[in-house]
Each structure stands twice: as structure tokens, then as C-alpha cells.
């Protein structure tokens, strides 16, 4: 486990070990700062105890080995400014530690409170579900001096565009409150198959999350699913395709992808919910139309209230070159 600020270890707790043996950290006492206050103890431990299995974290919580201000707590306890946490020796093998390559991404805005980047398609926002690491882990590796860096929201791996991160817990809390109140406005550009008719169309279809036998996450329209609302605005028609802007009124997993596909207009290049035969055909050039080998879904704009100044901020990520070039080729093919 990484050394932590304001941490003191008790001597004599553990004998020295070689580099090839499992690491057994000493008892550590961590004092919670104002920025760290408000989060649950289990989430705090999962963040600071990198590489330790989640099941082990909950086991030491249940056993009472983790103490706050010398008293027992359960996993739902929310930390307060000044709390002193006793973290027991937690064993984890050094050889299983993942080395994450640091990386920076195109920055749309950065100050002391927020970081907004233009995420490329094909990169996950975080590790998990078969992905060793993502944007957040790479940014943390590139910025070891950063005391706090967390995702405000998420984007699918194959979706490009604006991704917002918080550099202070107060900023994260403020932005999450805006999301809950529907005050954070996110808009996407998508190219769908078919001749979309309405200039502005509301789609309200309940979405249900489930897993395939291999563990892959999927979403479908189902009566007992979560209420979901997307507004689609028609921007331009091409022969056999339509460029749309989607406004998210709710933020469900794969919401835009499932709402457009369920309306009869799958997104070009969507390998989960799209037209698979068409997707294969799109990967090869035909006439004046160039090849296209990704999903055409791009988070192009986000508007929110700045968590410190309370001023309205609007950020825009330009359409990636491969998407812009593909649209030009569609327009050329019509000439």
C-alpha cells in the first residue's frame, strides 16, 4: 500500500520481508482532511489500499480491525474532518501490483477544482470488466502529486469526447448534486442508420441492465427498468444515414445507444446494439465513401455550474477527424 500523508506506523508490528514475499504493511493511523470528509469508510479504504481485493477490505471492516477515533464502525460510516482511522496490516503480493503507464489527454479546461479532457475512442474511463486500467488510472500515474482526482461521470469505452474530473472532493460533491438535480447538461453527436423524420423527438423508454453468461454488461428496454429520457435533435440527413444531437435527461448505462436502436435507428459502428452487417460493410470504402471503423458517438458538449465560482461553464470537444472525414465522404458521395 502506498505511503499516505499524516500516517504513522507502530514499530515492531511486522518482521522485515524480502521483495519476493508478500508485503505486510504496519498498522497505520490516517487523519482525514476536510477534502476527504463525507465519503464512506469502505470507499476510502478501496481507494487507498490499491491492489487489495474488495472482499478482504470488507472482511477487515466486519472484524472490527479498522477503527475510527479508536471505536468500531461499519462499512456505511461517513468520514468526518479530523477523524483518525486505524488501518490494520493488510497483506498484498507485490508481484500482482499493476504498473499503469502515465498518460495525459487533450485538456479542454483545468483549474484548481476541475479537469476536463477530450477522451479518445477506444480507451475505458476506468479499469474493470476485463480492462486493466483506464483514463483515471493513467492520469493518476501521470500526476503522482495530485492529492485528489476522481471521475465526475463516465463515457463508454468506444465513445469519444468531453470527460469531466474533479480535483477536490468539494467539487465532486457539487457536480454530483448538479447531476442529481438535472442541472448538468450533456450533449452527444451520433450518426444513425436510416431516415430520421422528426426535427426534435423525445424518447422515454425504461432501461434494464443485465449481464450475458460471459459477464458482459448489456441493457435492454423493459417495463420494470429505470425511467430513461433522451431528446434527439435532427442536424443533417445523408443518403441512408442521419446525424443527430442527443440531450441526456437521465444518465443510464448505454442510454443513447439503446434508445436510438430501439427506435429503429442504430448508431453506425455500434458493436453491441447496432446493425452488424452494416458495421462490417462500413469498415471498407465504397465509391466516394471512406471506411469507418469505430462507433459514431461523440460527447461534444457539456454545460455546468462551476463548483467554486458558480458561473456557467460550457465546454465543447470538436468532432474527431475520423468522424468529420466520414461525414465529408458521405456528402461527397451524394454529389
Cell numbers standing for residue 241: 444515414
189: phi then psi, degrees, rounded to nearest 5: -105, 135
156 an active-site residue? yes
Q: Hey, which residues does 86 pair with through a beta bridge?
A: 29, 67
**3-state secondary structure string across 197-242:** CCCEEEEECCEEEEECCCCCEEEEECCCCECCEEEEEEEEEECCEE
Pair type for strands 84-87 and 67-68: antiparallel
Of the candidates 19, 74, 81, 156, the residue annotated as catalytic is: 156
Comparing C-alpha atoms, which of 261, 155, 244, 254 is closest to residue 207? 254
Residues sharing a CB contact under 8 Å with residue 154, sequence separation 6 or more, in sequence order = 125, 126
User: Cβ distance 174 to 164 under 8 Å?
Assistant: no
Comparing C-alpha atoms, which of 161, 144, 141, 145 is closest to residue 153? 161
Q: Does residue 121 sit in helix, strand or coil?
A: coil
Catalytic residue annotation? 156
Amino acid at each position: 500500500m502506498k505511503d499516505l500523508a499524516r500516517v504513522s506506523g507502530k514499530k515492531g508490528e511486522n518482521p522485515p520481508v524480502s521483495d519476493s514475499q508478500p508485503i505486510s504493511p504496519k498498522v497505520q493511523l490516517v487523519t482525514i482532511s476536510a477534502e476527504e470528509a463525507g465519503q464512506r469508510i469502505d470507499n476510502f479504504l478501496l481507494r487507498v489500499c490499491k491492489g487489495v481485493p474488495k472482499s478482504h477490505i470488507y472482511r477487515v471492516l466486519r472484524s472490527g480491525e479498522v477503527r475510527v477515533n479508536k471505536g468500531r464502525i461499519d462499512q456505511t460510516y461517513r468520514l468526518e474532518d479530523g477523524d483518525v482511522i486505524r488501518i490494520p496490516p493488510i497483506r498484498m503480493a507485490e508481484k500482482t501490483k499493476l504498473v499503469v503507464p502515465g498518460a495525459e489527454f487533450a485538456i479542454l479546461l483545468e483549474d484548481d477544482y476541475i479537469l476536463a479532457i477530450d477522451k479518445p475512442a477506444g480507451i475505458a474511463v476506468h479499469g474493470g470488466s476485463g480492462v486493466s486500467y483506464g483514463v483515471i488510472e493513467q492520469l493518476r500515474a501521470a500526476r503522482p502529486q495530485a492529492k485528489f482526482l476522481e471521475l465526475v461521470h463516465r463515457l463508454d469505452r468506444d465513445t469519444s469526447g468531453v470527460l469531466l474530473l474533479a480535483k477536490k472532493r468539494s467539487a465532486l460533491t457539487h457536480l454530483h448534486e448538479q447531476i442529481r438535480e438535472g442541472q448538468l447538461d450533456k450533449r452527444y453527436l451520433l450518426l444513425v442508420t436510416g431516415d430520421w423524420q422528426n426535427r426534435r423527438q423525445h424518447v422515454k423508454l425504461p432501461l434494464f441492465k443485465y449481464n450475458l453468461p460471459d459477464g458482459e454488461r448489456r441493457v435492454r428496454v423493459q417495463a420494470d427498468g429505470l425511467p430513461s429520457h433522451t431528446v434527439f435533435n435532427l442536424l443533417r440527413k445523408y443518403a441512408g444515414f442521419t446525424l443527430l444531437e442527443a440531450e441526456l435527461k437521465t444518465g443510464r448505462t448505454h442510454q443513447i445507444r439503446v434508445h436510438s436502436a430501439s427506435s429503429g435507428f442504430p448508431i453506425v459502428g455500434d458493436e453491441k446494439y447496432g446493425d452488424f452487417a452494416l458495421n462490417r460493410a462500413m469498415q471498407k470504402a465504397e465509391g466516394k465513401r471512406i471506411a469507418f471503423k469505430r462507433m459514431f458517438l461523440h460527447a461534444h458538449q457539456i454545460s455546468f455550474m462551476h463548483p467554486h465560482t458558480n458561473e456557467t461553464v460550457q465546454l465543447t470537444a470538436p468532432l474527431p477527424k475520423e468522424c468529420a472525414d466520414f461525414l465529408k465522404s458521405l456528402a461527397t458521395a451524394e454529389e
